[in-house]
Chains A and B, each alone.
Chain A
């Protein structure tokens, strides 16, 4: 039994049912992605799944069901029963995927990145103390303190990163709660709406077209009910549902509707048989949640960077450990050097800075309607090279709008912008007067009352999409439509149906002298024209001859070719003698004429593109991002919208276009001539992956029309095979696999389902394509700015490291202490490096190609070399000058310092001679050493100010970028100076911190080097701008 169900189940999942037997192979290939989503659970949990699937509710009769669940299909459950069951079984909601326990997340932060290195440093400290203690019981506790400080640094940065992550997760979870699902249920013999979470087994629920099925339901009655099971089975065809038991398998029988699938049309009543995690989808979800997410590009970049820095730290550390040992230093000393080297090399504050920078951008993006679920997705968006976008709602406004009118043998363009304010077509003609009357009267749509203060375009309308469009159109032009309708009292009406293809109504006119009835009609243009014998031109009725019919056809074809939905309008004044005022119209008997009418005009509607989209698409194009439209719409409409937003540019043609222009068969066209392609779902179905690859590489402008959500996944996979970073928009449950598969899944905030939002990395609050492009811009900016931040942070590491190396090799008194280094890394440098996140883009950000995942690294060779070996070395030299100045002016000239280390550090030598013959006690020297630390610290700080300023740009001159445009940089500089002042003058008396009060003039010793850094970098940038592509740029541009 178990085996059998499994087989059926997997067949369902691979979706072979709707695939022809002949292309079974292809079908399997195509649904691979979906299968993968569910794959892992199969192996491990088949046993459990099969047991759960062993249900027979679909085989039971209604009476048996009532008995089994203790319910009644008329009265439903009682409230008390329901409450009991709810308490017993829990709410009807999927348990969110098992999250990593908080403690594990926390510990991960503790050991991730550089933390391991710092832990090693801390442990080495304690080991060193242990050795010292075993040799001399009264050895100083300095090493223990240092070890504790290092441990504290790791713990604090860990807590910080953990807090940041938790915060960003919280944003998302609050967002999720905003949209509770409702269910329509019968309880206590009453119909009521309750949150779907409160449903219990045995509840009688009603569903209708458009609803999401709130639980697993055994249908009791159904009227034309069809469901979309694609999220469960991968079948894109709507499935009819009825109350009959049709198949032994629970998954195949027609009388079961599954949780989280969508009811597409019709209505149904059913009994809840499973809730929450016990539903079929719940079982799959809980099993599939183990599917790991791929690493985001920025995570890979940061890992790469951590590896570089850790590699440098460890190799220099080990190298100098060996050097130290071979220079006959004691092992204990060598260990302490190793600690110093590690601490100097590791940019302790950097990962925290990166997190802050990313979350600042995430906040900025949220303001621009991109809600980012995980911080790293911020940058992923920036490296996007292909965007697969939905059409409806994303590229378009998601509402029908009147786009063109045709009357008096002329096509007029209506304003389709978001507010409709600017209707410029000629409204003086008599024909327009008649047409507008028909538009107003032959329309059943109405505004919901109480919306007088709401702008017309935003009012809520009861009625279908096209009628809504017409109502709003006429309201904008004519004013109060409801009032006009009142004045022209409606006496009879035939609503639109698909057989008639027209809609008709008969009105009394508002002209008190005209007692005739006015019959107005709209419908499919060719049907309307058939019924007409005259046509109105310039307000005058004229017989409908061949030439006018020809004009009509031309106009009709033209508007149809624009992908617009065209309606024809006609009217007839019924003669007063035949139809007196008291005449009773009978719509069933049709006791009135419906032919020989007067044709008035055509009107076409489209879901128009959002006004911001064409700009956004142009931006994408210049940014080297390919925009692919994926829609379920008709190819003509899709193509028309693609053309109007620029996805297919004005001068590019499809193969079909070329064929039409040259009057040759499609097969004869050289495919290389066409830049654009419109591919339908049916064509896509027959393509092999190789053909799809070819399509994606050869055409720069692609529109996929009439596609199913499953095909979206195939398209995404195809794009990813081209090594592209793919962003995909989606809203339906069945888009989730594509959203998950994509490098960045973008769910729609308004139209999107919860499942889509869960699978996505980002939620678009306004559903607007233009917001994605803003997001891309922000993402690219953050990548650039992170580069700057990292370059800034890495630079001073050399200035911190060199003192140690010189100390070991030359034997100078230690120029800068480990604690002091920590005060730079975690004190003065933090705010400035965050400030770089606020830097504006250097002009070209959306004019360059998306970054190549493997070639354009965040930290590349040039960045590391320029930071380490150029600016870093200048800083080190500058720092040493300050250090030597302090020592020389106190009595120790540079020459005497060489190889002084051993005596200098010996606490029993209390009469060490300086260059002048004066003698120093150990403490006096120690104080001087701390003054040296402070001086070196100040030297680095001063040069870091220059470093901060030069890092504002990588190519442009600082003066092009503007020195004062980014105010936060100046806050950063101020913070650096203030922190340094506090450390030196405020905390100078606390010996443990090793800071002393520095003479004011020493603050300026490094200034020449700061200026040198600035000038040198300006020269570097100048040559880069002057000689693009040269040896210089290749080696010096990071």
Chain B
């Protein structure tokens, strides 16, 4: 990097370095005297101390503008996204029926995921609400009044509840359950007071398709949904936020695929049908919908 104008011998270079590190004549260490080093350290201590204080102050001021209860802006969350459980790395549910290990981790995850939905816990923590209408809980003058949540019992998931299920959510028989959930958005009145439900279809991405025929629709076969029709009730809305809506239970829709064509990859897309949720966002592939891959390997 440094251009050597005059050729220096190796010894000279070492000597110069030595002198730079400690110059005994001027008592300079790395080109500065002790006092100079003291000054410079003190200076940076003060300067960076001040800068840290300034940063802390401005951050504190900024955080005063943010409430604990709702975020200041929610413009990005106009359309809630959909997501599946079990959560896998590439959103693909692959089940080797004969190979227990291939699906055991899914089962473990689901067990854990569904634990809060156990009827006993629900009954203990949450209210029984009237279906078909929003469960609104205005503050009524009490600031940040803690909010109650509605029950979503695990038994509502029927065959997919996994309670006393020897098939392990159907994974051991090649009829797996996949759970669909909608992202939580504070103060979002999903469905705009009309009933809403989740529907799923087999749908191969357009550029993989053969001449307009959608094989995945055929390969997907039959499925059943719990609650029936894939309904999501209005009573689970609105959500009031983590801090004040402590025991909020997210509604789920379980889809049990009954006879997927084995040994092929099937693309499944589930979307929510709700009056105020658009599901056709070009850029956000998960706005109001979720796409995942299903593959049942049987020998």
- Asked if B59 contacts A923 (CB within 8 A), the reply is no
Q: Answer whether A889 and B71 are a contact pair too, CB < 8 Å, given A910-B81, A916-B242.
A: yes
Kindly state the separation between the CA atoms of A422 and B116 in the bound complex, as whole angstroms. 108
Fill in one digit per residue for B78-94: 1 if any A CB lies within 8 Å of its CB, else 0.
00111100000111000
Task: Please classify the interface of chain A as helix (H, G, I), strand (E, B), loop, or mixed, using the class held by over half of its residues.
Answer: helix
- Asked if A923 contacts B71 (CB within 8 A), the reply is no
Kindly state the separation between the CA atoms of A1005 and B58 in the bound complex, as whole angstroms. 9
Kindly state the separation between the CA atoms of A184 and B158 in the bound complex, as whole angstroms. 115
B178 to chain A, nearest CB (A): 14
**Does B10 belong to the interface (CB within 8 Å)?**
no
Q: Answer whether A920 and B76 are a contact pair too, CB < 8 Å, given A307-B2, A888-B66, A910-B290.
A: yes
Kindly state the separation between the CA atoms of A165 and B58 in the bound complex, as whole angstroms. 48
**Does A80 belong to the interface (CB within 8 Å)?**
no
- Asked if B181 contacts A908 (CB within 8 A), the reply is no
**Does A1012 belong to the interface (CB within 8 Å)?**
yes
**Does B184 belong to the interface (CB within 8 Å)?**
yes
A303, A916, A1031, most chain B CB atoms within 10 A:
A916
Q: In the complex, which residue of chain B has the Cβ closest to the Cβ of A1012?
A: B54
Fill in one digit per residue for B222-265: 1 if any A CB lies within 8 Å of its CB, else 0.
00000000000000000101110100100000000000000000
Q: Answer whether A885 and B77 are a contact pair too, CB < 8 Å, given A877-B51, A910-B83, A921-B284.
A: no
- Asked if A884 contacts B186 (CB within 8 A), the reply is no
Query: Which B residues from 87 to 116 make CB contacts under 8 A with A?
Result: 89-91
Q: Which residues of A contact B62 (CB under 8 A)?
A: 881, 884-885, 888, 1005
Kindly state the separation between the CA atoms of A963 and B248 in the bound complex, as whole angstroms. 59
Q: Which residues of A contact B248 (CB under 8 A)?
A: 917
B289 to chain A, nearest CB (A): 10
Q: In the complex, which residue of chain A has the Cβ closest to the Cβ of B250?
A: A919
B213 to chain A, nearest CB (A): 22
- Asked if A1031 contacts B39 (CB within 8 A), the reply is yes
Kindly state the separation between the CA atoms of A310 and B1 in the bound complex, as whole angstroms. 9
Query: Which B residues from 36 to 92 make CB contacts under 8 A with A?
Result: 36, 39-40, 43-44, 47-48, 51, 54-55, 58-59, 62-63, 65-66, 70-74, 76-77, 80-83, 89-91
- Asked if B245 contacts A921 (CB within 8 A), the reply is no
**Does B274 belong to the interface (CB within 8 Å)?**
no
- Asked if A924 contacts B76 (CB within 8 A), the reply is yes
Contact partner of A918 (CB less than 8 A), chosen from B48, B90, B184, is: B184
Query: Which A residues from 34 to 66 make CB contacts under 8 A with B?
Result: none
Contact partner of B83 (CB less than 8 A), chosen from A914, A917, A919, A1031, is: A919
**Does A893 belong to the interface (CB within 8 Å)?**
yes
Kindly state the separation between the CA atoms of A894 and B40 in the bound complex, as whole angstroms. 32
Q: Which residues of A contact B89 (CB under 8 A)?
A: 908
Contact partner of A894 (CB less than 8 A), chosen from B59, B77, B181, is: B59
Kindly state the separation between the CA atoms of A846 and B74 in the bound complex, as whole angstroms. 60
- Asked if A889 contacts B54 (CB within 8 A), the reply is no
Q: Which residues of B contact A307 (CB under 8 A)?
A: 1-2
**Does A874 belong to the interface (CB within 8 Å)?**
yes
Q: In the complex, which residue of chain B has the Cβ closest to the Cβ of A912?
A: B183
- Asked if B47 contacts A918 (CB within 8 A), the reply is no
- Asked if B287 contacts A916 (CB within 8 A), the reply is no
B58, B186, B248, B285, most chain A CB atoms within 10 A:
B58
**Does B283 belong to the interface (CB within 8 Å)?**
yes
B276 to chain A, nearest CB (A): 17
Kindly state the separation between the CA atoms of A894 and B39 in the bound complex, as whole angstroms. 34
Kindly state the separation between the CA atoms of A1035 and B290 in the bound complex, as whole angstroms. 60
- Asked if A911 contacts B54 (CB within 8 A), the reply is no
- Asked if A884 contacts B59 (CB within 8 A), the reply is yes
- Asked if A917 contacts B286 (CB within 8 A), the reply is no
- Asked if B245 contacts A924 (CB within 8 A), the reply is no
**Does A311 belong to the interface (CB within 8 Å)?**
yes
- Asked if B77 contacts A918 (CB within 8 A), the reply is yes
- Asked if A921 contacts B287 (CB within 8 A), the reply is yes
**Does B278 belong to the interface (CB within 8 Å)?**
no
Q: Which residues of B contact A927 (CB under 8 A)?
A: 76
Query: Which A residues from 896 to 912 make CB contacts under 8 A with B?
Result: 908, 910-911
Kindly state the separation between the CA atoms of A1009 and B66 in the bound complex, as whole angstroms. 21
Kindly state the separation between the CA atoms of A919 and B248 in the bound complex, as whole angstroms. 14
Q: In the complex, which residue of chain B has the Cβ closest to the Cβ of A854?
A: B5
Query: Which A residues from 859 to 917 make CB contacts under 8 A with B?
Result: 869-870, 873-874, 877, 880-881, 884-885, 888-891, 893-894, 908, 910-911, 913-917
Q: Answer whether A890 and B290 are a contact pair too, CB < 8 Å, given A310-B1, A908-B91.
A: no
Q: Answer whether A916 and B73 are a contact pair too, CB < 8 Å, given A877-B55, A881-B59, A924-B81.
A: no
Q: Which residues of A contact B285 (CB under 8 A)?
A: 923
- Asked if A921 contacts B183 (CB within 8 A), the reply is yes
**Does A765 belong to the interface (CB within 8 Å)?**
no
Kindly state the separation between the CA atoms of A917 and B290 in the bound complex, as whole angstroms. 20
- Asked if B181 contacts A888 (CB within 8 A), the reply is no
Q: Which residues of B contact A916 (CB under 8 A)?
A: 70-71, 186, 241-243
A310, A911, A927, most chain B CB atoms within 10 A:
A911
Q: Answer whether A908 and B81 are a contact pair too, CB < 8 Å, given A893-B63, A918-B185, A1031-B36.
A: no
Kindly state the separation between the CA atoms of A576 and B55 in the bound complex, as whole angstroms. 109
Q: Which residues of B contact A874 (CB under 8 A)?
A: 51
- Asked if A311 contacts B55 (CB within 8 A), the reply is no
- Asked if A910 contacts B71 (CB within 8 A), the reply is no
Contact partner of B71 (CB less than 8 A), chosen from A884, A918, A991, is: A918
Q: Answer whether A991 and B283 are a contact pair too, CB < 8 Å, given A889-B66, A889-B71, A1031-B39.
A: yes
Q: In the complex, which residue of chain B has the Cβ closest to the Cβ of A861?
A: B31
Kindly state the separation between the CA atoms of A877 and B241 in the bound complex, as whole angstroms. 31
Q: In the complex, which residue of chain B has the Cβ closest to the Cβ of A894?
A: B59
- Asked if A911 contacts B183 (CB within 8 A), the reply is yes
Q: Which residues of A contact B59 (CB under 8 A)?
A: 881, 884, 894
- Asked if A914 contacts B1 (CB within 8 A), the reply is no
Query: Which A residues from 270 to 323 make CB contacts under 8 A with B?
Result: 303, 307, 310-311
A923, A927, A1012, A1031, most chain B CB atoms within 10 A:
A923
Kindly state the separation between the CA atoms of A923 and B286 in the bound complex, as whole angstroms. 8
Contact partner of B284 (CB less than 8 A), chosen from A870, A919, A923, A1035, is: A923
Q: In the complex, which residue of chain B has the Cβ closest to the Cβ of A873?
A: B51
B51, B70, B186, B239, most chain A CB atoms within 10 A:
B51
**Does A160 belong to the interface (CB within 8 Å)?**
no
**Does A922 belong to the interface (CB within 8 Å)?**
yes
**Does A928 belong to the interface (CB within 8 Å)?**
yes
- Asked if B47 contacts A870 (CB within 8 A), the reply is yes
- Asked if B81 contacts A911 (CB within 8 A), the reply is yes
Query: Which A residues from 474 to 497 make CB contacts under 8 A with B?
Result: none
Q: In the complex, which residue of chain A has the Cβ closest to the Cβ of B78?
A: A924
Q: Which residues of A contact B83 (CB under 8 A)?
A: 910-911, 919
Kindly state the separation between the CA atoms of A1005 and B83 in the bound complex, as whole angstroms. 36
- Asked if B287 contacts A923 (CB within 8 A), the reply is yes
Kindly state the separation between the CA atoms of A917 and B245 in the bound complex, as whole angstroms. 9
- Asked if B185 contacts A888 (CB within 8 A), the reply is no
Q: In the complex, which residue of chain B has the Cβ closest to the Cβ of A1008?
A: B58
Contact partner of B242 (CB less than 8 A), chosen from A884, A917, A1005, is: A917
A888, A910, A999, most chain B CB atoms within 10 A:
A910
Contact partner of B74 (CB less than 8 A), chosen from A873, A891, A893, A922, is: A891
Contact partner of B55 (CB less than 8 A), chosen from A881, A915, A923, is: A881
Q: What 18 additional pairs, Cβ within 8 angstroms, besides A921-B286, A1035-B39?
A: A873-B51, A884-B59, A885-B62, A889-B71, A890-B73, A910-B81, A910-B83, A911-B181, A915-B242, A917-B242, A917-B243, A918-B184, A919-B183, A920-B81, A921-B81, A923-B285, A1035-B40, A1035-B43
Q: List 18 A-B contacts (CB under 8 A).
A: A873-B48, A884-B62, A885-B62, A889-B65, A890-B74, A890-B76, A894-B59, A908-B89, A910-B183, A917-B245, A918-B77, A918-B185, A919-B80, A919-B83, A919-B183, A920-B183, A922-B284, A923-B283
Which A-B residue pairs are the 7 nearest by beta carbons? A917-B242, A921-B81, A919-B183, A923-B284, A891-B71, A889-B72, A921-B286
A interface with B by C-beta (< 8 Å) = 303, 307, 310-311, 869-870, 873-874, 877, 880-881, 884-885, 888-891, 893-894, 908, 910-911, 913-924, 927-928, 991, 999, 1005, 1008-1009, 1012, 1031, 1035
